[in-house]
Amino acid sequence: MSALRHIAVIDIGKTNAKVALVDLSTLSEVALRRMANAPLRQAPYPHHDVEALWTFILDSLASLNRQQRIDAISITTHGATGTLVDASGELVLPVLDYEFDGPDRLAADYDAVRPPFAETGTPRLPLGLNLGAQFFWQQKNFPVEFAKATALLMYPQYWALRLTGVAANEVTSLGCHTDLWNPWTADFSSLVDRLDWRGLMAPVRPARERLGPILPALAARTGLDPQTPVFCGLHDSNASLLPHLLSDTPPFSVVSTGTWVVSMAVGGRTVKLDPARDTLVNVNALGDPVPSARFMGGREFSVLTEGPPATWTEDDIGAVLARKTLLLPSTQQGSGPFPHHTATWLDADGIDNGQRFAAISFYLALMTATCLDLIGADGPTTVEGPFARNRLFVGMLAAATARSVIASEAATGTSIGAALLASEETPVHGKGERIEPQTDPIWAAYVSAWRAAVEARDAIIRA
């Protein structure tokens, strides 16, 4: 069989869903389809509109295939999401939106059975951010429907099932703060056996395994070759990490930006992770534990910059730095390194839109630098996703870490990583612009002022 070149990547993010066509010969996206991905706020609980997504996926595959023959399909999705299906592959319950607070109502009961952080590397998170808490709540509230399930699937593999008819699971999604996976033993956690769920767990397959060809009816619907292979797929932040795992020399770190900003350290300093600050152990596509930290930076950016796109000037940057206009955490509470802090502006009276945008970008960079410090990151940091195009963000991140930052050229780092599941070659990808730390001391002074203000507020909260 000839080498696979053009890979259609189904990329389901929390805010947007995309289907990208990636050319493996250049490691670039040559076409992209996108739609908003809003949950349905209706009974029996807020849930993902999988049928709208499915129509979008099939229409996008058909459209892209008319533009350029698709050789294979790969899949990546956001975490904290899983599905329960019956023997025919149909959902027995809607796919719960992890921002729904229902699981919190059984928090005490769930806390009594969930494994400790030392076993899973999973911090206790609110809402449905621990996938185990979602399934626990569904089982308690919908026992009849839950009993019909024959398989429990992570979200990327749900879409793989719909494409191929093959049920599988995979470690990057299982190991993403679910409480379901033990990264040290590479097996399901004690929670799975305690709740008698092991029999529901579909077989664990490597991310780059070919689950099978696309189903015949889907080949007819999309115009794809009936032998088009579908790869098992992986969690989106780990898709961003994969190209670097395959080609970079540790130590390095990768910051995957989207709705969540996820920082992952490879070969960094040994530190003790603090689950109270949203640090955790992810599992990469090679099956290895990866110290990680995250905050809802993309959501914060959307909330803070709502309205027309801001324009800014060098004078705006200088004014913010000189005045030390600071935004302190956190706009989105309940997760991230400062989960109990309330956002506050300092020295912000009278700032214009350009200065406000600069201060917001600096805030997001300083939050990211905090996450990188918490996980012992060392060496250069590569920023993937939309924040890589924000020059203010990457500049302040370099200043705050005192290390170089590489702004990835890829529009969607997750798509490139997911496409690499279909490649037999070691990638040699364009890194993007390399930004070195600023030498002007005004940048370091701004970083110090932000950190001192955060520490002062933290001391008050802890008192």
Given a cut of 90, is residue 409 above it in pLDDT? no
Domain co-membership, 400 together with 283: yes
Residues sharing a CB contact under 8 Å with residue 399, sequence separation 6 or more, in sequence order: 437, 438, 443, 444, 446, 447
CATH of the domain at 308: 3.30.420.40
The whole-number average pLDDT for the span 153-179 is 97
- Would the pLDDT of 427 be above 80? no
pLDDT at res. 1: 44
Question: How far is residue 145 from each of residues 87, 103, 142, 340, 452, measured CA to CA in Å?
Answer: 13, 17, 6, 36, 52
Contact between 20 and 9 (Cβ < 8 Å) = yes
CA dihedral 155, 365, 291, 208 (to 10 degrees): 40
Question: Is 207 a member of any domain?
Answer: yes
For the entire predicted model, the pTM comes to: 0.87
Same domain? For 151 and 290 the reply is: no
Residue 261 covered by a domain: yes
Name the residue with higher pLDDT: 27 or 200. 200
Give the chain's mean pLDDT.
95
Q: 191 or 414, which is more confident?
A: 191
3-state secondary structure of 271: coil
Hey, what are 403's tokens?
Answer: 């290390």
Residues 39 and 79 in one domain: yes
Q: Considering only CA atoms, which of 368, 418, 419, 371 is closest in space to residue 390?
A: 368
Per-residue model confidence (pLDDT) at position 445: 98
What is the pLDDT at residue 146? 98
Stretch 58-71: mean pLDDT, rounded?
98
Q: Name 73's Cβ contacts closer than 8 Å, sequence gap at least 6.
A: 7, 8, 9, 10, 61, 163, 214, 228, 229, 230, 231
In a domain, 1, yes or no: no
Verify that 145 and 279 share a domain, yes or no: no
Q: Classify residue 156: in a domain, yes or no.
A: yes
Q: How confident is the model at residue 159 (pLDDT cuts 50, 70, 90)?
A: very high
224-259 pLDDT, tens digit per residue, is 999 999 999 999 989 989 989 988 999 999 999 988
Q: Which residue, of 232, 252, 267, is where some domain finishes?
A: 232
Q: Does the pLDDT value for residue 444 go beyond 50?
A: yes
What is the radius of gyration, based on Cα positions, of the chain?
Answer: 22
Report whether pLDDT(181) > 90. yes
Q: What is the structure's pLDDT at 414?
A: 87
Q: How long a stretch of residues is the chain?
A: 463
Is 153 in the same domain as 280? no
Q: Tell me, yes or no, whether 452 lies in a domain.
A: yes
Tokens of 43: 């009974």
Nearest-angstrom CA–CA distance, 363 and 345: 10
CA gap 223, 226 in Å, rounded = 8
Residues 241 and 220 in one domain: no
Domain ends where: 180, 208, 232?
232
Q: Judge whether residue 103 has pLDDT over 60.
A: yes
Do 411 and 263 share a structural domain? yes
**294 & 174 share domain:** no
- On whether both 157 and 22 belong to a single domain, the answer is yes
282 and 366 together in one domain: yes
Number of domains in the chain: 2
From 232, 258, 283, the end of a domain falls on: 232
pLDDT at 389: 92
Could you tell me the CA-to-CA distances from 185 to 96, 287, 378 in Å, in that order? 28, 10, 26
147-176 mean pLDDT: 98
Banded model confidence at residue 428, pLDDT cuts 50, 70, 90: low
Q: DSSP secondary structure string, 359-404?
A: HHHHHHHHHHHHHHHHTT--S-EEEESGGGG-HHHHHHHHHHHTS-
pLDDT, tens digit (0-9, with 9 covering 90-100), for 42-56: 999 999 999 999 999
Task: Indicate if 274 and 139 belong to the same structural domain.
Answer: no
Q: Is the pLDDT of residue 106 over 80?
A: yes
Predicted local confidence at residue 410, as pLDDT: 65
Strand pairing report for 181-182 and 187-188: antiparallel
Which tokens go with 434?
């390399």
**Same-domain pairing of 244 and 214:** no
How many CB atoms within 10 Å of residue 215? Answer: 16
437 occurs within a structural domain:
yes
**Range of the structural domain that residue 68 is part of:** 6-232
